[in-house]
Amino acid sequence: MRTRIFFKLLVAAVIVIAVATITLDFAVRRSWEASLRQQITLSLTQKVELFAHEVQDVNHPGLPQDVSEISKAANARATVINRAGKVLADSEANPPEMENHATRPEFIAALQGRTGSNARRSHTLGIEFLYVAAPIHGGAVRLAYPLTEIRETVSEVRKTLIEASALALIIAILLAMLAANLIVRRLRRIMLFAEGLASGELSTRISDNSSDEIGQVAAALDKTARRLEDTFHALESSRNQFETLLNSVREPVIAISSDQKVLWSNGAFSRLVPQLRIRDSLIEMVRDPEVLEAVHASLAAHDARSAKARMLAPGRIFQCTVAPMPSGAVLVFHDLTDIERVEKTRRDFIANVSHELRTPLTSIQGYTETLLDSTPKTDDPVREFLLVIRRNASRMARLTEDLLKLARVESGEWKLELQNIPASALLIDAEINLRGSATQHQKKISIERSSDQQVVADPDAIQQVFTNLIENACKYAPADTQITLGVRETKNEGGQLEFYVRDSGPGIAAEHHGRLFERFYRVDRARSREAGGTGLGLAIVKHIVLNHGGTVRIESVVGQGSTFLFTLPCAANAVHHEESASATQSR
């Protein structure tokens, strides 16, 4: 780690030094070179003006000697040129051998009466000069300064800059080594602190009292460690309280992970399943298919599911509620053994009583009919009493019959013969079979929407559903109204079709919707008795639909009629729904 930090610091220092050196070389050096050239130009301008003042005329006597003296005094090359561009005198070259200077920029400017300057390579000497010319009578005088001296000076400056950069690099290496050692020692303390936290030593702390960034990080980590320690103690206390609470609960409770491994269980579940081991798979301890299916569905859909467990313990029945957690699920088992026993006793009692009542009721109806046939129609009081007896005996017979049907459906005695059948066939059979009953009540039945898609159903059981719903509509809807049948696809992912029966009756208030499918529940008891209802028709509908793996509901607004809807599984999901229906019937 020390080597990596050292190289990082060294690279950073090298980059900074290189950037600084390049910046100085390109910015400061060029600026300084331009300033130096400007100063030389200004100096040459002043000297060439003195040169022009001293010579004044190209025909000045002793011109070569004056040119040589002025060159030495000005430390520059001196030249005198006549108006035609011919060199009359030069301090460093033979004038006859020199080119005509009529096209030189500085000479042209001097002939125009002003001081001119130009930098270029000399054709005579082959080196670069800075030329400055001034006008005199009959031509111009010129001074030239070699720029090679500027180049040499700049090279010296660059050499000094590179040497200084190399020295700075050496110092940077030493500083990087020192800083790397200091940083590594402090970071190693932080690393040891982090390893201690990872191993569960929440009381460990970092001893770093500096106020720089690393010190601030160390202080923040110490603060975090203190909070983690406090939070851990609080969580540990809450966990202990939670375990104590769950262990005191009589219901068995178990928590599983997302891969269905056992994470925790309370004492009640451990006593129920002695072979329980933490981290074992749930399927090794709970072999009830319905419970495992509910667990799988809850983990997949992230919502609560429920199922009955009949194989968890011999002779006992549990209602299992599966609730999802962020990384798994929790299963709560409610013992329904006593409730199921009482419910079975109730169903058996109702079935037995209903069965025993059928014979005397049939006898009462038969004798009443015989008495009615033998009683003169003029004997109004006696005949009226007999009609009342027949009406009530018929109502009791219907009630007994409905109780027997409901008992058979609830107990699973009514075995469904499931088959694939088009939805349209169910609607057509219902319309044909109940057309006569609707006509007697002055109603008409029509099919609004149909579908040839197949559903999984017992046709006889579904016809019982349609019979109960349509007869209800006939009893409560006004005369000369329409009863509409139909089917439509649902939006859920279960692959179901939704059938409906719509009437134009008085409607049902929303507060009754939740209890409407309970046995003997009536919205208007007086009107129900007048219509001859038993209060069991919708309960029978509910249990038949549930045994098919479907749902039933109502949509109704007071004064706007009612629509009863129930779903049936599509044939594409036959296997799944047949298993679901079988499990429902077994319950």
CATH of the domain at 369: 1.10.287
In whole angstroms, give the CA distance from residue 52 to residue 68: 14
Q: CATH number of the domain that 515 lies in? A: 3.30.565.10
Note whether 392 and 514 are same-domain residues: no
Q: Using one digit for the tens of pLDDT, what is the confidence trace for 72-119?
A: 888 888 888 888 888 888 888 888 888 888 888 888 888 888 888 888
**Does a structural domain hold residue 464?**
yes
Select from 151, 181, 212 the last residue of a domain.
151
Model's pTM, two decimal places? 0.44
**Does a structural domain hold residue 235?**
no
Q: Which two tokens stand for residue 530?
A: 């007048």
Note whether 551 and 448 are same-domain residues: yes
User: Which residue pairs, CB below 8 angstroms and at least 24 apart, start in 370-378?
Assistant: none
Structural domain span for residue 344:
339-411
3-state class (DSSP) for residue 587: coil
User: 581: pLDDT confidence band, cut at 50, 70 and 90?
Assistant: very low
Domain count for the chain: 4
Quote the pLDDT of residue 24. 67
Note whether 147 and 79 are same-domain residues: yes
Select from 134, 151, 168 the last residue of a domain.
151
Note whether 456 and 348 are same-domain residues: no
DSSP characters over 558-583 = TTS-EEEEEEEEBGGGHHHHHHHHHH
Quote the pLDDT of residue 5. 61
**Which among 564, 572, 577 is positioned nearest to 486, based on CA atoms?**
564
Q: CATH number of the domain that 128 lies in? A: 3.30.450.20
Beta strand pairing call for 443-449 and 481-489: parallel
Percent of the chain, pLDDT > 70? 80
Residue that the structure tokens 């509509």 belong to: 473
Note whether 397 and 290 are same-domain residues: no
Q: Using one digit for the tens of pLDDT, what is the confidence trace for 265-324?
A: 888 887 888 777 888 888 887 888 888 888 888 888 888 888 888 877 787 888 889 989
Residue 479 or residue 26, greater confidence:
479
Q: Using one digit for the tens of pLDDT, what is the confidence trace for 430-477?
A: 999 888 888 888 888 999 989 889 999 989 889 988 988 998 888 888
**Does a structural domain hold residue 100?**
yes
Q: Is 221's pLDDT higher than 90?
A: no
Note whether 474 and 567 are same-domain residues: yes
Select from 100, 124, 151 the last residue of a domain.
151
**Does a structural domain hold residue 314?**
yes
**Does a structural domain hold residue 357?**
yes
Note whether 269 and 396 are same-domain residues: no
Between the alpha carbon of residue 182 and those of residues 5, 93, 179, 214, 221, the distances in Å are 10, 69, 5, 11, 19
Note whether 388 and 490 are same-domain residues: no
3-state class (DSSP) for residue 164: helix
Note whether 429 and 575 are same-domain residues: yes
**Which among 499, 473, 485 is positioned nearest to 448, based on CA atoms?**
485
Note whether 361 and 388 are same-domain residues: yes
Note whether 321 and 395 are same-domain residues: no
User: 573: pLDDT confidence band, cut at 50, 70 and 90?
Assistant: low
User: 485: pLDDT confidence band, cut at 50, 70 and 90?
Assistant: very high
Q: Using one digit for the tens of pLDDT, what is the confidence trace for 130-153?
A: 889 999 888 898 888 887 777 777
